[in-house]
Structures are given as structure tokens and as C-alpha cells.
Amino acid sequence: MSAKHVEAIVESGTERFIPLNKLKKSPNNARKTPHSEVSIEAYAASIAAKGILQNLVVEPELDADGAATGFYFVTIGEGRRLAQLLRVKRKEIKKTEPVRCVIDTTNDAFEISLDENVTRENMKPADQFEAFKKLAEERGYGAEEIAARFGVTPHVVRQRLRLGAVSPKLMQIYRDGDLALDQLMAFAITDDHARQEAAYERLSYNRDASTIRRMLTETHVAATDRRAIFVGAEKYTEVGGTILRDLFTEDRGGYFEDVALLDMLVMAKLGREADSVMEAEGWKWAQVFLDYPHSHGLRRIYPQAVELSAEDQAALDAVQAEFTSLTEQHESDEELPDEVDARFGELEAEIERLEAKRRAYDPADIARCGALVILNHDGTVRIERGFVRAEDEKQEPETHDVSGEGEGGDAVKDDGGTGPDGAGDERLDGENEDADDGKPLSDILIRDLTAHRTLGLRLALSEQPEVAIVAVTHALSAQIFYRGADVHVLDIRPTATYLASHADGIEDTKAGKAWADRHARWAAQMPRDVSGLWTFIMELDHDSRMALFAHCVALTVNALKLPTERKPRAMATADRLAEAVSLDMTAHWVPTARTYFGRVTKPHILAAVREAVSIEAADRMADMKKQDMAEAAEQLLVATGWLPALMRTPGAAQERAEPPQAGAVTRTSSDAYSVAAE
């Protein structure tokens, strides 16, 4: 019998402590995929805390002649061997550290290696969750200590402890296979078992994790909410507020649980902002609102053009001169140095600050007007100035102010005017007509005469389109810029739908600000007295008059598609209008995770990527989580000019849907907007 066989008979099945540096990876190991760094770290932590709990199985290494070399191949336990080598590298143990092994030269090495990896069942996740909970509650281990003993991160331990706190009823449902792990994780957002179970009872066919999470946080405020951003988590928790955290998803700061407390803090902070505006700027009053009060019913005064002071003009000239000089110095640079780019930013900000001084409120208006202090959609403060309350309106007889207050009052005192008594056409028999001198005409006669005059005006106006443009512009302007002014003679009434009630934050977009600025510029040019409006419009040059006309007409555009309305023909007309004005919505709106991708389903996101980029790109994203997919889609589509079907102009839809060619220069949305704004 050979020496090899003798050794096999003697040693097979026996235990032996073998120095670590005498152990090698077996060429017969069935596992070909290397152990991950995470798993090796976990093995090392476990061994450091508890030692090697399961023996390694080894076989002697033999040379070409069948003689033992003194080294051993690790058939079972390669992960533990690597973990010990990691500990050697960290100088926790020596390379000669003895490792308890079982010698096996009887079984086929490859087969028992395969058996080790196949014929075993991992611990059920539910059991693991509850075991971690037991370590924490009965042995007092913290997340960091448990993490160290089992080779996982403290965050993973906290996640498992949170899952261990899920209602036993739901945990059993999970064990029975009627709940998926991601659904169980969604329930764990709160440790209130009653709420968890109530939410489960409310579930219908849709048991998506996001639905569960939404049900459990529907009475809370997300940390991304504008109110939470405005107040801040630190201030909220400082006064006793609590924040609910989701350990399993990117909760972006959690959920503020005490909504009443949060709202109180919001209004208090807005109140301080209002006090500050009144004190710093001198307004008579300032009122706070969570949302812009579109139905405020107040007339608004805008700042008027004023000359810059000599000091400000000199400062503006100096800044503009430096800006021009810097531009000339670097006009050939492909990329600006950081310090030059920063200086350009400073100069632009200073020019904007000084240019803003060209418009100012009359001190008398400030003394009788107020400001609205509003919480913006992004958690910042928005201040709208120049509103006049009814009690602060100037009472000037026979003079019309910008609001038209008092317009159309008791009587017009000219010929043909009506008197306060509204006398009829009937007269007493034998009445002396000479005695009626100076009395108003009867209502019936006035209606008769003015009907004929109206017909005459219609005929004459129909033959003079230029004057018709003036009349329409006057009618629209009077109602748009002079609240309550009834001076227009055309029965044309503009209806403006407030878009902010349909799209949060729309007023703070580039397009929203451009519209507000344009409206403010026209408002500032309007005569203070509405009676001077006709003359103002008549004296405008043709281009300016048409620009005012277009602005007033544009305010009445309503292409909203609401679930309660069915207006297919109106929507078709909106498409024709978009074609007529060559509307390119890429100049005003870009699909992002916040504005679009985070608000549609995953199939919608993938369809957009397929259309704008490629089928392959969509396939690569198919297994992503919803939030990750939305953010990835934003990055992929940012320069493609892709738009959802509802945003497209029909004639340009096909062209926009085509992906940009390689090497092509793609204009960004901001560039496109700048061109449009010019």
C-alpha cells in the first residue's frame, strides 16, 4: 500500500490545528465566483467576536510523487480562510494562527464543496429580524456592537431591528408568503402596530410598497415639503416636533409628524418676515399667506421709472465698464478661469441691483399700500408689493384712478346723462313742457338714441381695423390693469385662469417670471387715471400698440386639460395656435425627476427613454427602483429636447423625438429660453 493511501486511512476524519499559512485555496472548489469583500468583512467580524464556529474541511497537498508537501487545500471554508488572512493584514492575528480543520481524503473534494454550497437553507429573514431584536432587547447590544459582531454596517442593523418591530401579525403574514419583503419594509416606516395593521386592512389589490408607505404617512408632511424646508428640521425638533424616518428608502429627511406644530412655526416665521418688510421698506401693512391669494380683490400699484442718483449712475457706469473690459480680455478663451467666472457673476449681480433702482415706488404709495408675504413652492419667501385696500383708496370726485373704483356711479352729468331718479317717458296731461328745461331725458328715449349711435359706431368701426385694434386693446387693458374700471365700450371681457392653482411653483419658473416681468413693465406704463388710457394707447407707436394688444390677448389663453372638462375641439385649436406661434416648450420646461419622471409610472419613464435615447438604454434601466430610474432618466434626457406628448407642438413633434446625432451641439433649455425671451 502506498504512503499516500496509508496517510489517508490514518488522517481522514480527524481534527487538526493547522497554521493559517499552511492553508491554500482548493483547485476543486465548486464556487468559481469570488467571495465579495462584504462577505469576507462579515466573516472576519464574526470570527473576531466568536471565533471560527465551523471547522474547515481540508485535504493534504501532494507533490508529483504522491508525497505530502505539508500544505493543505481548503475544500470547505474558503471564506473563513480569506477572513483570517484579512485579520492578518490588519495585524489582529499572526500568519501562523492555528486553524481547527477536519481532514477529509475519503470524499470527492469537488462534490463536497458543491454540497456545502447547495444543500443548505439560509436563515429565514423574519427569524433574522427577530433575532437581532432579541440581542438588542435582552442583551442590551446597540446597533454598533451588533454590527461589529456580525460584520454588517450599523445602518443594516438598524434596518433589521426596525423590521423586527413590525407587528407580529404582519410578520406571520410575511412568513406565510402573503407579503413581500419590500412590502414589509414599507410597513416598518412606523413602529405603531395598530397603524400598520389598519393600513394592511385598507389595502386593496394594489399592495405596492409605495402605496403602503403613502398610507402610513398621509397625515404627515415630507421633509421635502416647502413648509418643512422653510422651518427646518432643527427648529422643528427643537420645539418638540418629531420626525418619522424610513430606513429602507431614500426618505430625503423623513416625515414631520406634528403638522399643526409645523404650520404654527411656518406662520410665525412668515409673520417675522412681514414685520421685517414693513420696518425696512415702510409699507403700511403686510399680510402673510401660505399660497398666493388670487382672489384678494385688491388694486395693485407698480413701481414707476425714476432716474438713478448721480452716485448710483457712476457706480453702474464703472461696473459696466469693468464687465466690458473683462469680456474683451477673455472673448477668445474656450473656458474661463474660476476666478474670472466668479467675477463675472459678481458684476452681473451688481448691474442687476443697480438697474433695479431705475424703478421705484412713490413714497406716498408706500405709505398707503401693503405687501403680501407668501411661502413659495420651494420653501423660500415670496414678497409681492404695492396692494391697496379699499379703505386706503384716494377719494377724488370726478377723477378715475387706476382701479376704476367709483366708476359707473350715480349719474353722468353731460347731455343725455341719466339722473338719480331715473324719470320715465310718461308725462301728465297738460304738463307745461317749458317747465321741463334742464331735466334729464327719459330712460326710453336715451335707450333709443344710444342704440342708433351704437349701430353707427359698429358700422364705422368695422371699416377701420386700426381703430378696432385700439378699441379692443383699450377694453382689455382697462379690465386687466384697472381692477373694477368700467370704462370700456366693447362687450369683451377677458377671463384669466390662474395657472398657479393647477401647477405648483409655475410662477417661479423662468417662463413664469418672464411673464410677471412683462406684465409689470406694462402695468408701470399705464396712466394712473384710467380716463387717460385711451389717449395712452392712441399715442403708442404701431409696434408697441400691437405688443400691448398681444399681451392682453395672451393673458386669456386657456389650454388647460381638466378631468372635469371635455373640450376636444378647444384642445385642437390650442394645437393650431401652438403651430401658428411656433411654440417650442423646450424653451420653457424641462422634464426632470421632480417635474415629470417622479410623477409617472416606470413604464412611462422607460417609454420616454426608448423614444429619446434608445431601446438599449431603457433595457439597462428596467430593473432600477422608481426614484433611481427617474433620476437616471433626467440625466439621459436633459439634452435631448424630449417632451411628453401633451407638451409637443404637432408640427415639431417628429423632429423633437429624434435623438441628437453624435457630435451635434445641443442647445440647452436655458439657452433656448434666452433666445425666446429676447
Q: How many CB atoms lie within 10 A of CB 502?
A: 11
Domain final position from 118, 133, 158: 118
We report the CATH number of the domain holding residue 20 as 3.90.1530.10
Q: At 443, is the secondary structure helix, strand, or coil?
A: helix
Check whether residue 96 and residue 11 sit in a common domain.
yes
Cell of 617: 438604454
Check whether residue 446 and residue 544 sit in a common domain.
yes
Sheet bearing 285-289, strands edge to edge: 285-289, 370-375, 381-388, 299-300
Q: Is residue 638 domain-resident?
A: yes
Q: At 62, is the secondary structure helix, strand, or coil?
A: strand
Check whether residue 595 and residue 549 sit in a common domain.
no
Check whether residue 275 and residue 324 sit in a common domain.
yes
Angle between helices 465-481 and 443-462 (to 10 degrees): 120
Check whether residue 114 and residue 30 sit in a common domain.
yes
Residue type, 563: P
Check whether residue 111 and residue 63 sit in a common domain.
yes
> What pLDDT does 663 receive?
37
Q: At 67, is the secondary structure helix, strand, or coil?
A: coil
Check whether residue 275 and residue 384 sit in a common domain.
yes
> What pLDDT does 597 receive?
92
CA distance 20 to 607: 55
Cell of 327: 469680456
4 exposed, middle or buried (CB, 10 Å; 0-12, 13-18, 19+)?
middle
Spatial CB neighbours of 252, under 8 Å, sequence gap ≥ 6: 222, 223, 224
Cell of 491: 362687450
Q: Is residue 64 domain-resident?
A: yes
Q: What is the DSSP letter of 660?
A: P
Q: Is residue 257 domain-resident?
A: no
Phi then psi for residue 648, to 5 deg, are -85, 150
- Count of domains for the chain: 4
Residues in the chain: 678
Q: Whole-prediction pTM value?
A: 0.54
- Collect the ranges in the chain with pLDDT lower than 70: 1-10, 117-130, 133, 143, 146-162, 205-206, 247-252, 394-439, 483-485, 652-678
387 pairs with which residues across the strands? 300, 370
Q: Report the b/e string of 45-79 with b at 16+ CB within 10 A.
A: bbbbeeebeeebbbbbbbeeeeeeeeebbbbbbbb
Q: At 36, is the secondary structure helix, strand, or coil?
A: coil
Q: How many CA atoms lie within 13 A of 230 on its CB side?
A: 26
> What pLDDT does 302 receive?
83
What dihedral do alpha carbons 37, 38, 42, 45 form, nearest 10°?
70
Contact 101, 55 (CB under 8 A): yes
Which H or E run contains 15? strand 15-19
Check whether residue 539 and residue 600 sit in a common domain.
no
Contact 266, 230 (CB under 8 A): yes
Where would I find the H helices in 438-530?
Answer: 443-462, 465-481, 510-525
CA distance 543 to 392: 37
Q: Is residue 233 domain-resident?
A: no
> What pLDDT does 512 receive?
86
Check whether residue 586 and residue 525 sit in a common domain.
no
Q: Residues 587, 593, 598, CA angle at the centre, nearest 5°?
A: 125
Spatial CB neighbours of 360, under 8 Å, sequence gap ≥ 6: 303, 304, 306
Contact 388, 301 (CB under 8 A): yes
Contact 286, 275 (CB under 8 A): yes
Check whether residue 381 and residue 283 sit in a common domain.
yes
Contact 384, 374 (CB under 8 A): yes
Q: Which residue has the cell 350715480?
A: 410
DSSP string, 215-263: HHTTTSEETTSHHHHHH-HHHHHHTT--EE--SSS--TT-EES-HHHHH
Q: Is residue 633 domain-resident?
A: yes
Sheet bearing 23-25, strands edge to edge: 15-19, 98-103, 56-62, 68-76, 23-25
> What pLDDT does 612 receive?
92
CA distance 639 to 635: 8
Q: Is residue 161 domain-resident?
A: no
Phi then psi for residue 23, to 5 deg, are -100, 140
Digit-coded pLDDT (tens) for 360-377? 888 999 999 999 999 988
CA distance 214 to 357: 48
CA distance 670 to 589: 9
Spatial CB neighbours of 541, under 8 Å, sequence gap ≥ 6: none
Q: How far, in whole angstroms, is CA 432 from its chain's centroid? A: 79
Q: Is residue 179 domain-resident?
A: no
Domain final position from 118, 151, 173: 118
Quote the domain boundaries for residue 78.
3-118
Q: Report the b/e string of 192-219 with b at 16+ CB within 10 A.
A: eeebbbebbeeeeeeeebebbbebbbee
Q: Is residue 574 domain-resident?
A: no
Check whether residue 515 and residue 603 sit in a common domain.
no
Domain final position from 67, 101, 118: 118
> What pLDDT does 252 receive?
60
Check whether residue 631 and residue 528 sit in a common domain.
no
Cell of 87: 485579520
